[in-house]
Chain A
Amino acid sequence: MAVDSQQAGARPSAASWWYDPKVRSVAFQVAFVLALIGLGAYLIHNTIINLEKRNIKTGFDFLFNPAGFEIPLTLIPYSVEAGSTHGAVFIVGLLNTLLISALGIVLATILGFILGVLRLSNNWLVSKLVGVYIESVRNVPLLLHFLFWHFAVFQSLPLVRKAIPIFDTVYIHNRGLTMPKPIPQPGFVVVLISFFVAIAAIAYLKKWARRRQDATGEQFPVFWASLGVLIGVPLLVSAATGFPLTWEYAELGRFRFTGGLEIQIELFASLAALTVYTSSFIAEIVRAGILAVSRGQREASYSLGVRPGPTLRLVIIPQALRVIVPPLVSQFLNLTKNSSLGIAIGYPDLFNVFGGISLNQTGQAIEIIAMCMVVYLTFSLLISLYMNWYNRRISLVER
């Protein structure tokens, strides 16, 4: 064998170098990259010519030019009169996207877990009914959900002047929901600070309770204590500072409300569509996760004398989460991406206000679409970083 290979080494050019897999692989990769660069150069060349011909400016200067349009929902100060720029439009849109995604994620998770557990109910009627519901929701395009909720459901609510009052403070009508507007008074910052202090205290409490249980075996009612701290501390502080938050009530005029805070119908329609659609997917994920925990786990837990409640909480759910969380998080990402469909009904999210209106005004398609893509790309990278971290943390440690 050794002699053979030495002899083979003595005649290096017997097989053509072209058949060497290494050479081939390098050659192929170089060719591929060259082709790609060529294609890119060709496209860029075309683009430059086209941009010159259509007189479209390039660069990001437009971000500092004033944007001449109003946005119905803004979380930061924004107004046309003050000369807010396209850069501000970008921020406003981004915040609106984050707002609807955060609300949607919370609601869809809650609804999805409820549906998923009901789907597994041993009550035949409930399980079948939830099954029918899930199937009919998820087999219809999300965009149709958006349009249906907006045009068929919310817009058929009564007109503003016939708004449905709830305790004469909140009004529901076909333009949205009018509620009292909170107006913070000077001492309000203190209350806000106390709220965050309460959250920090809860985190500490949880740690302390865990340490104590590890040391002594005694349990501490963390949940109720936390709830008490979370509500009690800010309440006490605001009582001490003389309730520094006042409400401005809405007055119903002849055709519209004066004062108060109006939340647009588009927010509710988008939220309803995203929640209902995504929760049907989450329900299936939850069901699969619970089914993935083997029966023996539950039986073992019962035979140790653990009651059904703690069994579910301490044995089943932690193991099911291992299966549930990865697809669940990718549903969260989907929901965030899907919130861009708000453009169809006019919810002012990033893609609607920046990719839609700003693009039409400035014509700078490349910069604007690239910026939108970078935002979504960032979301997705953050989520996958988190997923990798989570998977490493919970992966089974086997001996």
Chain B
Amino acid sequence: MSDIAKNPDRSFVRTENIPEAPPPISTAGVAGWMRANLFSSPANTALTLLTFYLLYLVVPPLFEWAFIDSLLEGESNKDCRGIEGACWVLIPKRFGQYIYGFYPEPERWRVNLTFILFCLNLLPVLSDRVPGRTFAALFLVFGFPIVAFVLLHGAFGLESVPTHKWGGLTLTLVFASVAILFSLPIGVLLALGRRSEMPVIRTICIAFIELWRSVPLITVLFMASFMLPLFTPEGVNANELLRALIGFIMFASAYMAEVVRGGLQALPKGQTEAAMALGLNYWKSMQLIILPQALKIVIPGIVNTFIALFKDTALVSIIGLFDLLLVARSAVTDPKWLGLEHESYIFAALIYFIFCFSMSRYSLWLERKLDTGHRN
């Protein structure tokens, strides 16, 4: 440096930085993005082109089938003659059944009201921007089921609607919510039992959990509908929905127990020991120290189990409960709607998808939100 300063007759040397040049056009903007992500190598380019071709083959015809060449209004499958695309006619005609099953039409506002109340109740629980989370959660567990039962089943002057008239999405949602409501506390107890120091309790809990986890759900549901009536004393005849629910809750709580156990195992032993050192007894230390931390860790896992359970409720259609899937299935056995399997199943799949997908997005969001303070 000093050499150059001493010799002014040397050729020109810049003393200040030249201004930053914009990035080359090939790495910035849309072109750059495409270059990096779609056409980075010959093989990649070929793959991109092939994918575009496949999309071209699939998407436009599918779009035409579903929206352009399709028919939305009509009386029966006779109207579908000459229609090349989807024939959605049965969806608007049977919409009520997809959602409410055989719930009497003048009483359907009760289902809607229950659903709206449920959503309002759920809002503070799911998001921390709405105040009153603790109260809402407590009400959701202890108060809301009673409200829902009164509204759906009828009491205090509301006309009684027996459970065999419930159906469609309503039944699916009721079934899933009740199963989730009961399986979580039972699952927590089972998980605690599995990690208990009492050998008898531990063995029984392990046997219970492993038994339910290793058999298919459909076996459990068959057991509930064929064997439960044999177990109950004479005269007591549990209704079909309740029987299926009992089986489903057993099954669900075993899965829940394993998720909760993951959380319990993730906690360092020091937490339990610290709680004991403070003089807390077992239940107090679980309630105040261990479970709040363990459950927080596994909330995403619990939500994932909810999704799996929600999908599994579809199996009750095999034992004859009139849930969303059975509605979709029996709608197309009606001679009026024969041959509309694609439309009916796609509609049902869409409803299931909306619920499951939003739950899984929520779980991802939660995972990101809860993933604080563990990295550093």
A residues adjacent to B (C-beta < 8 A):
25, 28-29, 32-33, 36, 43, 46-47, 49-51, 53, 121-126, 129, 135-136, 139-144, 147-148, 151-152, 155-156, 333, 337-338, 340-341, 343-344, 351, 355, 359, 365-366, 369, 372-373, 376-377, 379-381
Contact = CB atoms under 8 A, between A and B. Distances in A.
Contact of A46 (B38, B232, B353): B232
A365 B227 contact: yes
B95 interface: no
Contacts of B318: 143, 341, 343-344
B296 to A, nearest CB: 22
B311 interface: yes
A156 B338 CA distance: 12
Given A123-B38, A366-B230, 16 more contacts: A25-B197, A32-B201, A43-B231, A125-B37, A125-B38, A140-B349, A142-B314, A144-B314, A144-B325, A144-B328, A148-B346, A343-B318, A351-B219, A359-B226, A369-B222, A369-B223
A277 B217 CA distance: 17
Contact of B52 (A36, A125, A340, A372): A125
Interface residues of B, number: 57
B233 interface: yes
Interface in B208-226: 210-211, 213-219, 222-223, 226
Given A32-B200, A46-B231, A125-B48, A380 B210 contact: yes
Contact of A51 (B52, B218, B230, B349): B230
Contact of A373 (B204, B215, B229, B346): B215
B144 interface: no
B227 A366 contact: yes
B230 A46 contact: yes
A147 B311 contact: no
A25 B198 contact: yes
B300 to A, nearest CB: 14
A57 to B, nearest CB: 13
B200 A141 contact: no
A140 B311 contact: yes
B18 to A, nearest CB: 34
B231 A47 contact: yes
A28 B227 CA distance: 30
Nearest to A363: B226
A129 B204 CA distance: 46
B302 interface: no
Nearest to A377: B214
A122 B231 contact: no
A43 B223 CA distance: 14
A147 to B, nearest CB: 6
Contact of B216 (A36, A50, A340): A340
Given A338-B216, A376-B214, A141 B345 contact: no
Contacts of B356: 139-140
B293 interface: no
Nearest to A352: B218
Nearest first, the 3 A-B pairs at minimum CB distance are A380-B214, A124-B37, A141-B314
A341 B48 CA distance: 38
B345 A147 contact: yes
Contacts of B200: 29, 32-33
B220 to A, nearest CB: 9
Contacts of B329: 147
18 contacts: A29-B200, A33-B200, A122-B44, A123-B40, A123-B51, A125-B48, A129-B51, A143-B318, A152-B342, A152-B345, A340-B219, A341-B318, A344-B318, A359-B222, A369-B227, A376-B214, A380-B210, A381-B214
B175 to A, nearest CB: 13
Contact of A355 (B204, B222, B325, B346): B222
A126 B314 CA distance: 32
B37 A50 contact: no
B109 interface: no
B325 to A, nearest CB: 6
Contact of B352 (A43, A53, A140, A340): A140
A28 B198 contact: yes
B230 A126 contact: no
A323 to B, nearest CB: 16
B353 A140 contact: yes
Contacts of B313: 141
Contacts of A381: 214
Contacts of A148: 341, 345-346, 349
B234 A49 contact: yes
A332 B309 CA distance: 19
Nearest to B212: A373
Contacts of A338: 216
B219 A122 contact: no
B219 A369 contact: yes
Nearest to B358: A139
Contacts of A53: 234
A141 B325 contact: yes
B111 interface: no
B274 interface: no
B216 A337 contact: yes
A359 B230 CA distance: 15
A121 B41 CA distance: 12
A124 B38 contact: yes
Contact of B230 (A32, A47, A343): A47
A351 B220 CA distance: 11
B42 to A, nearest CB: 12
Contacts of B232: 46
Contacts of B48: 123, 125-126
Contact of A141 (B52, B210, B215, B312): B312
Contacts of B360: 135, 139
Contacts of B77: none
B145 to A, nearest CB: 25
A26 to B, nearest CB: 8
Interface string B260-302: 0000000000000000000000000000000000000000000
B215 A377 contact: yes
B177 interface: no
A171 to B, nearest CB: 23
